Structure 1
Amino acid sequence: MNARDRLIVGLDVPTIAEATAMVDRLGDTVSFYKIGYQLAFAGGLEFARELAEDGKQVFLDMKLLDIDNTVAKGVENIAKMGMSMLTLHAYPKAMRAAVKAAEGSPLCLLGVTVLTSMDDDDLADAGYATSAVDLVEKRAAQAIEAGMGGIVCSAAEAKRVRAIAGPEKAIVTPGIRPSGSDANDQKRVMTPTDAIVAGASHLVVGRPILQSLDPKVQAEAILKEISAATRA
């Protein structure tokens, strides 16, 4: 992969008009976009289809979790949309159902381990008697066993997850913050360079690009950083 295939810009904006304007501003600099709940519920699913038809790669961040049949039927339809990546919460039954439903398609299924906005205290509040690192490792191993295409984790756990997943699986890391950027609501963050060195294959960057005075210049700077890190 080249750097452009590794950078995923999170289109975490409220309207299709704003998303379209950002894609236009970024132009050919960015080829991979993430669409999550915020934009999906404002017409973003059709927009995702249009991006794919225009030759962009699209990471549909839906974090699916439901009974097996519901997950399977959802994945079947998403595979027909031309999406490149899709997230599910890394629960074994749901992942196995999704993998079976996606057979024969190029859709890369990603198991979400622990959200990057959560730490050990948050997990304890949710009833988990384990640390974030231990839960990430457990869910990563279950995702690989289920046949998933990759893992979503914070870059802080990317090295451990890479050891579990092997060299070929995708490791997608949100919570990427260039040096000097505000962490916002993220708790387990890392710079682009450190994330690539740790074993991440793809970096999801949202607010540091979207809220930049010049998003294209910021994206280009991150791409240079990714390129340098992959050559190191």
Structure 2
Amino acid sequence: MNDPRIIIALDFPDQTTALNLAARLDHKLCRVKVGKELFTAAGPQLVEKLMQLGFDVFLDLKFHDIPNTTAAACRAAASLGVWMINVHALGGEKMLRAAQQAVEGRKTKLIAVTLLTSMSRDDLREINIAGTPEIIVQQLALLTQRCGLHGVVCSALEAANLRAVTGKGFWLVTPGIRASDGNQDDQVRIATPTSAIHDGADYLVIGRPITRSLDPLTALQRFNDEVTVALNN
């Protein structure tokens, strides 16, 4: 079974740019992620076109609402036939369980976002959440696991700790991945494919190092080669 570990972030403002980039990739080497900006601009039709090109789609809309509304949104997203969707773990146990029940028996996988990487300890204190971001992330990941979701989105720098507490079989999806010899762009807390895989990451979300490359397919192949070596060592 083909199981690409790289997810390309299609962080574009319009359908044409996203589809042009997708046409330069190989669906056997990656999946693609559609976020809020692109989905708002292009809608479900874009998702359908990407799937027609052979890509599994991660619909990254981070649903967060009352349980019934979140469940309905997840059910609608799953009906598109996407590979994976996500919700906010801060929605709590009732919301997480409702979302999971909404996709039960479908092929769509459901994961959760713990804390956004922009949230500092000061930000948490302002909304009366006690504890460090690291502790809150761990608590939310364990809650997500108890509610039966497939995994969480996390920083690659959190992967080793989360893998230790969640064990095997719980997906860790990590953004902020950069090439071992590449530019960090504006990311301070980054990881390479090798370090992320060795720390327990299952899927790596990669954007600009591939999407802004002069040769996206060659860049993807290089990342994929590094992932393959890391998985085998």
TM-score by length of structure 2 reads 0.91
Structure 1 28/189 Cα, relative in aligned 2: closer, same or farther at 3 Å?
same
1:208 maps to: 209
In terms of fraction of residues, the more helix-rich structure is: 1
Residue 87 of structure 2 contacts residue 113 of structure 2 at CA under 8 Å; is this kept in 1? yes
Give unpaired runs (5+ residues) of structure 2: none
Residues 28 and 73 of structure 1: CA distance in aligned 2, closer, same or farther (over 3 Å)? closer
Q: How far apart are residue 212 of structure 1 and its match?
A: 1.6
What is the rounded CA distance, in whole Å, between the counterparts of 1:31 and 1:209 in structure 2?
Answer: 11
CA distance in 2, matches of 1:59, 1:208: 19
**Contact 1:29/1:216 (<8 A) preserved:** no
Kept in 1: contact 2:27–2:54 (CA 8 A): no
Larger mean Cα displacement after TM superposition, 46-55 or 62-71? 46-55
In structure 2, what is the Cα distance between the partners aligned to 1:18 and 1:55? 17
SS at structure 2 position matched to 1:74? helix
- Could you tell me the percent identity over the aligned residues? 40
Normalised to the residue count of structure 1, the TM-score between the two structures is 0.92
Aligned length: 230
Shift of the 117–215 alpha-carbon distance from structure 1 to 2, 3 Å rule, reads: farther
- Of residues 181, 184, 187, the one that matches 1:182 is 184
Paired position in structure 1 for 2:196: 195
Residue 93 of structure 2 is aligned to residue 107 of structure 1: no
- The residue number in structure 1 matching 2:140 is 139
Deviation at 1:126, TM superposition (A): 5.2
Match runs of 1:16-95 below 5 Å: 16-28=15-27, 30-90=29-89, 91-95=92-96
CA distance 1:118–1:189, change in 2 (3 Å): farther
Which secondary structure state, in structure 2, belongs to the residue aligned with residue 19 of structure 1? Answer: helix
Q: Please list the CA deviations of residues 150-195 of structure 1 after superposition, one character each: whole Å capped at 9, or x if unmatched.
A: 11100111111112322112110011122332242x4432111100
Q: Once the two structures are superposed, what CA deviation does each residue of 1:185-229 show, in whole Å capped at 9, x if it has no partner?
A: x44321111000000000000111111222111111110110111
Aligned-residue CA RMSD (Å): 1.9
Contact 1:172 1:200 in 2 (8 A): yes
Letter aligned with residue 212 of structure 1: S
| Structure-2 change in CA distance of 1:126 and 1:224 (3 Å) | farther
Q: Give me the whole-angstrom Cα distance separating, in 1, the residues matched to 2:125 and 2:110.
A: 28
Tell me the distance in 2 between the aligned counterparts of 1:165 and 1:96.
Answer: 18
